[in-house]
Structure 1
Amino acid sequence: MPRTFRPDAVLVQAVIAGALSFSHLHDLADAAGQHGWKAWAYPISVDLLLVAAWRRMHTAADRGPAWVWFVIALAASLGANIATAGMLDLDDVPPWLRILVAGWPALAFLGGTLLAHTTGTTADTEPTPTAQPLTAPAPVSEPVPAVTVERDPGPAPDPAPELPPVPAPAPEPVPAPAPVAVPAVAVPPALLDHARKVADTHHATTGNRIDTATLRTRLGIPAPLADAITAQLA
């Protein structure tokens, strides 16, 4: 059955807007010194950049660059519409507008190249998930009932005879601590005060009393002098 053609109001409006914008871009390019076929190439360039940016916005994950070039092409088309509506004297185009019109092809080429060749994840190039191979389920084995065999316990063994308790050994006497010998090395009072501060800091930090080896390392003194200081700090 043949399909009947139904005009779409949006499509008709797009055709009218495109034709008017195409004509305005041509007139502006011709007034800026781009005569002949060059004037007709400018509206084609603007419309192609506009369509490329619109397609990129619908397919790219990052729509920021596409939005930038879409706004640039839309500004060029809208600016031509306003300039040719009596806002600008087309017989005396200012130099800055001639510079913009002359530089538009390079700008449009840059935008089209970036839109067409920018790498990125798009909706059309998303990787399709690979199908996982189906594995057959492992056969379920039925539980085998356990068979219990009753055995004759036989005669009960005779209880072991009770042994007399072993007496506990007497505690050994603890030897009395040997008296600390009086150090034979004279310790300067200033060094003793400094050693006492180091010992107090060590005790506050670690919770233990400082030993001779640590005190000797901290003060950098010989072993006899460290022994004498430790004896006085005890």
Structure 2
Amino acid sequence: MSRSALRVDAVLVQAVIAGALSFAHLHDLAAAAGQDGWKAWAYPVSVDLLLVAAWRRLRSDGPSRLAWCWFLIALVASLGANVATAGFLNLEHPPALLRLGIAGWPALAFLGGTLLAHSPATHTTPQEPADPEPAPAPETEPEPAPVAEPAPAPVDAADDAPALPPAAPATSPALAVAVPAALVDHARKVAADHQERTGARIDTDTLRARLGVPPHMADAIAAQLA
């Protein structure tokens, strides 16, 4: 036989011996208080059942004031009977207080058993943290569509047309792109902030990276900031 089996058997034997002694002490105390016959045997059953019901409530639903209260009441009743039958009281002439407690025990045990059986258990569930609100997406200015330059009219070399006057110098690509005024104002703030932090004027590449615009748009904005 294994050691674990021997250990479990020893615990069970100890529990049976302790239960039988406590049962007998409760019976003797009830009989001494005037509860003869089957009534004397019912008292230990009532005390032990209340003790087991309170302990089961503690194990299944967790600690609570109700379960601990009735567990202590049943434990005091059981321990009191064991101590009282050890010669501390004269069981042939029991005191009136003992008779009063024995007589009132059935109503008290019925109340405790009813409360333990029908009182709802309160469980507290941890609250889940609320999902953080997503950060708003940064607003970006819409990119204006590039303005298409009109194509020059074809010239027929065979015609003896008079010579055309010299063409005006072409405008730079940076000035040909239409830039919204709001974007230019924002670029001025960015350029001023850059010059305040670094002490140097902002270049086109840095301006384009800060504004998130195409290269031709950045050139047009830089031309207006110059």
TM-score (norm 2): 0.52
Please tell me whether residue 104 in structure 1 is matched to residue 105 in structure 2: yes
Task: Quote the Cα distance in structure 2 between the aligned partners of 1:49 and 1:15.
Answer: 18
- 1:232 paired residue number: none
Instruction: Give the number of the structure whose residues are more often helix, by fraction.
Output: 2
1:69–1:97 Cα change, 3 Å: same
Amino acid at match of 1:45: S
Task: Give the SS at the match of 1:15.
Answer: helix
Q: Is 1:120 equivalent to 2:121 in the alignment?
A: yes
**What is the alpha-carbon distance in structure 2 between the residues aligned to residue 61 and residue 157 of structure 1?**
94
CA distance in 1, matches of 2:120, 2:96: 38
Report the CA distance between 1:120 and its aligned residue. 2.0
Shift of 1:5: 6.2
Report the Cα distance in structure 2 between the residues aligned to 1:43 and 1:103, rounded to whole angstroms: 14
* Cα drift, residue 77 of structure 1: 0.4
1:154 corresponds, among 144, 151, 154, to: 151
Q: For 1:23, give the aligned amino acid.
A: A
Within 5 Å, which residues of 2 pair with 1:52-63? 52-63=53-64
Whether the 8 Å contact between 1:59 and 1:122 is mirrored in structure 2 is: no
Per the alignment, residue 66 of structure 2 pairs with 65
* Partners of 2:93 and 2:39 in 1: CA distance: 19
Aligned AA (1:96): L
Map 1:67-86; keep pairs closer than 5 Å: 67-86=68-87
Mapped to 1, the partners of 2:100 and 2:168 lie a distance apart of: 119
- The amino acid of 1:154's aligned partner reads A
Query: Aligned partners of 1:84 and 1:61: how far apart in 2?
Result: 34
Map Cα deviations across residues 130-163 of structure 1 (whole Å, 9 max, x no partner).
xxxxxxxxxxxxxxxxxxxxx885139999xxxx
* 1:10 positional shift: 2.1
CA distance in 2, matches of 1:7, 1:61: 28
User: Which whole-Å CA distance do the structure 1 matches of 2:57 and 2:168 have between them?
Assistant: 95
- Counterpart CA distance in 1 for 2:69 and 2:11 is 25
State TM-score, norm by structure 1.
0.51
What is the match of residue 34 of structure 1? 35
| Contact 1:61–1:121 (CA under 8 A) maintained in structure 2 | no
Let me know the Cα RMSD of the aligned residues: 2.7
Task: Pick closer, same or farther for the CA change 1:117–1:154 going to 2, 3 Å.
Answer: same
Check the 8 A contact 1:26/1:40 in 2, yes or no: yes
Distance 2:14 2:27 in 1: 20
The residue identity in structure 1 corresponding to 2:75 is L
3-state SS of paired residue (1:22): helix
Counterparts of 1:48 and 1:61 in 2: how far apart (Å)?
19
**Cα 1:38/1:157, change in 2 over 3 Å:** farther
Partner Cα separation in structure 1 for residue 37 and residue 94 of structure 2: 18
Asked if 2 retains the 8 angstrom alpha-carbon contact of 1:29 and 1:39, the reply is: yes
CA distance in 2, matches of 1:29, 1:56: 27
Over the matched positions of the two proteins, sequence identity in percent amounts to: 66
User: Residue 21 of structure 1 contacts residue 77 of structure 1 at CA under 8 Å; is this kept in 2?
Assistant: yes
In structure 2, the gaps of 5 or more residues are: 126-147, 153-166, 171-226
Contact 1:22-1:44 within 8 A present in 2 as well: yes
